[in-house]
Each structure stands twice: as C-alpha cells, then as structure tokens.
Amino acid sequence: MGLWIGIAILVIVLLILVTNVRIVPQAHAYILERLGGYKETWSVGLHFKIPILDKVAKRVSLKEQVVDFEPQAVITKDNVTMQIDTVVFFQITDPKQYAYGVESPIAAIENLTATTLRNIIGDLELDETLTSRETINSKMRTSLDIATDPWGIKVNRVELKNIMPPKAIQDAMEKQMKAERERREAILRAEGEKKSTILVAEGEKESVILEAEASKQAAILKAEAEKQKRIKEAEGQAEAIRSVQKATAEGIEFIKAAGADNAVLTIKSLEAFAKAADGRATKIIIPSELQGIAGLTKTITEVAGIDATEQIANAAEIK
C-alpha cells in the first residue's frame, strides 16, 4: 500500500514539473506574471515557472503581421464621400508594452487608422486623392508609427488597398477618360498626317534637286564632249598641215639629192609658170636674169602647188 502511495506522489511531482516547463519557439516571446504582477519576458529557449505562483500571461509573436481593415467612409476637401480600405503592416518590438500598453491593440490600430485616414483625405480634393497614394501612405505610416510606439508596435507600411468613389463620380471619370483618350487619338492622328505631308514635300524637294543635278551633269558632259571634239578636229587639221609641209620638204630634199642643176630648176619653173597662166594671159614676161628666173620659179612653184612627186619625176627625166 505504501509503495503505491509513493508511486502516485512521484507521478504527481513529475506532472507538476512537466506542466511548469515552457519552451519558447523562434520569433516569439512569453510574458510571465508572478502573483498577478509582471515578472519577466521569456525569449527563445527552455524556461521553468513556479507552480501556482507564476503564470504565462501572454504569448506574443514577433513576426511582421498584416491586418486588412474594412472600408472606411471618408470625405474629401471638395465634399466627395468615398470608401477606402487600408492594409497595415506592423511588428511588435516590445512584448511588455504590447501586453500592458493597450487593451486591444488590433482594434486600437484599426480605429487609429480610420481617424488618421479621415484627417489626411479631408485636406485633399478628389483628384489629389486618386493620384496621391504614395503621399497618403507615407503620411499614414508616419502618424501610426508615432501613435503606436508606446504600445510596443512599429508600423512598417500602410497601403491604400481600394479607393471607391460614388457611382456617379465613377461614371463621370470614365467619360472624362474616354474624352481624353479620343483627344489624344486626334492629336496623334494630326501629328501623323503632318509628318506624312512633311516627308512627301521633302521627297519632292529631293527629287527636284536630283533632277537639276542630273541636268547639270548632262550639260557639263555635253560641253566636255564638244570641247574634246573641237580639240580633236584642230589636232587633225594641224596634223594634216604638218604632213603637207613635211611632204613638200621631203620632195625638195629629194630633188636636191637627185642633183638637179639650176637649168633644170629654171625649165621646170617656166613650165609651172606657163601652167599657172593656163592660157588666161596672152603674154608671159620672163626676166632676163637667171637668178631672178630661179627666184620667180620658186614663187610660181609655191603658188601653183606643184606636187613634190611630179618635180622628182621631171628632174629624173631631165637628168
């Protein structure tokens, strides 16, 4: 009988010990109270508490938490009522202040968010409210962070999830956006037509310039061709004159080389003189001096254009 009583007492002691052992997980903290008062904050690890005297009053998560609040009715500066719902990202930095600072922290944050949002939106008009999300988020985060600091809460971010104007305002905004899109479309179309017209005009201008340049080049080439033609003709005439002069000079040299004396030259000169007269004169006056006849023969030969080949043949016959 005594053995069983001992075993029962041992089991009870073990149960008491087990139930008073606490293991605090990662990113959590436990608030320990002794006889109803704050004793300490347990961090991660193994902890023991005194039975009956100690009590774990609150288990606190140190992770970042997200709370999505219901839409709140707010009024803008231009008296437009709309619904805005917010999302708050917060984290508990001081478990003791969180446990004893405010009765219901989440409800307190929700009410504080609603009042802060109304104050900020009340200073903005409708258009500013719709286009100033970042400004509103920043102002709300700053205000909430300051207000919740005594509660051991740090507000990291505040986001406006939805902004819902009245139905009539939404319809008016849609019509305004439609008109704005049509206006932009008309402007873009006009700018496109303007650019097209400018490009066409520039193309025509380039075409005219190219045609003028081509005509100019053609005229230059034609003038060059005419110039070259005249140069070639002049060179041909000069070459012909040189050839005639050369043939004449060679004929005279050949006559001299053949040994024709002054008598032969005189006779041939007289024949050339008679041929030059060609019956058109009734008298032929011959100078008495032989040297004068020789000089006259040379002159008549040049005037009559006696062929050098003929002179050479006659000189050979006389010889």
Mean pLDDT in residue range 205-219: 87
Whether pTM exceeds 0.85: no
Q: How many CB atoms lie within 10 A of CB 24?
A: 17
Residue 250 lies in a domain: no
Tell me the CATH number at 155: 3.30.479.30
Residue 92 lies in a domain: yes
DSSP annotation of 124 reads S
Under a CB-based contact definition with an 8 Å cutoff, are residues 118 and 72 in contact?
Answer: yes
Q: Domain range holding 148?
A: 65-165
Residue 66's pLDDT band (cuts 50, 70, 90): very high
User: What is the per-residue pLDDT for 219?
Assistant: 86
Over the stretch 26-61, which tens digit does the pLDDT of each residue have? 999 999 999 888 999 999 988 888 888 889 889 999
Residue 214 lies in a domain: yes
User: What is the Cα–Cα distance from 87 to 93, expressed in whole angstroms?
Assistant: 19
Query: Is the domain of 96 the same as that of 161?
Result: yes
DSSP annotation of 203 reads H
Residue 35, token pair as written in the block: 């006889």
- Last residue within a domain, chosen from 241, 275, 291: 241
Under a CB-based contact definition with an 8 Å cutoff, are residues 66 and 89 in contact?
Answer: yes
User: What is the per-residue pLDDT for 138?
Assistant: 92
Query: Is the domain of 85 the same as that of 54?
Result: no
User: What is the per-residue pLDDT for 64?
Assistant: 93
Residue 314's pLDDT band (cuts 50, 70, 90): very low
For the chain, the domain total comes to: 4
Mean pLDDT in residue range 180-207: 88
φ, ψ for residue 59, nearest 5 deg = -105, 125
Asked whether residue 208 carries a pLDDT value surpassing 50, the answer given is yes
Query: Is the domain of 143 the same as that of 105?
Result: yes
Query: Is the domain of 148 the same as that of 123?
Result: yes
Query: Is the domain of 71 the same as that of 56?
Result: no
User: What is the per-residue pLDDT for 229?
Assistant: 86
Asked whether residue 268 carries a pLDDT value surpassing 60, the answer given is no
SS3 43: coil
User: What is the per-residue pLDDT for 140?
Assistant: 92
Query: Is the domain of 26 the same as that of 56?
Result: yes
Most confident of 3-12, 53-62, 273-282: 53-62
User: What is the per-residue pLDDT for 291?
Assistant: 47
Average pLDDT of the chain, as a whole number:
80
User: What is the per-residue pLDDT for 172?
Assistant: 79
User: What is the per-residue pLDDT for 278?
Assistant: 54
User: What is the Cα–Cα distance from 252 to 312, expressed in whole angstroms?
Assistant: 8
Query: Is the domain of 69 the same as that of 57?
Result: no
User: What is the per-residue pLDDT for 235?
Assistant: 85
User: Which carries the bigger pLDDT value, residue 279 or residue 88?
Assistant: 88
Across 71-85, b (16+ Cβ under 10 Å) vs e yields: ebebebeeebebebb
User: Which carries the bigger pLDDT value, residue 153 or residue 3?
Assistant: 153
Query: Is the domain of 50 the same as that of 114?
Result: no
User: What is the Cα–Cα distance from 135 to 154, expressed in whole angstroms?
Assistant: 19
- Last residue within a domain, chosen from 207, 241, 275: 241
Query: Is the domain of 193 the same as that of 230?
Result: yes
Residue 9 lies in a domain: no
Burial label for 136, CB within 10 Å (0-12, 13-18, 19+), is: buried
Residue 15, token pair as written in the block: 């149960």
Residue 292 lies in a domain: yes
Angle at 290 between CA 285 and CA 295, to 5 degrees: 80
User: What is the Cα–Cα distance from 89 to 67, expressed in whole angstroms?
Assistant: 7
The helix (run of H) or strand (run of E) holding residue 13 is helix 2-19
Residue 12 lies in a domain: no
Mean pLDDT in residue range 180-189: 88
User: What is the Cα–Cα distance from 125 to 80, expressed in whole angstroms?
Assistant: 8
Asked whether residue 153 carries a pLDDT value surpassing 90, the answer given is yes
Query: Is the domain of 28 the same as that of 99?
Result: no
- Last residue within a domain, chosen from 109, 140, 165: 165
Q: What DSSP string runs through 268-279?
A: HHHHHHHHHHTT
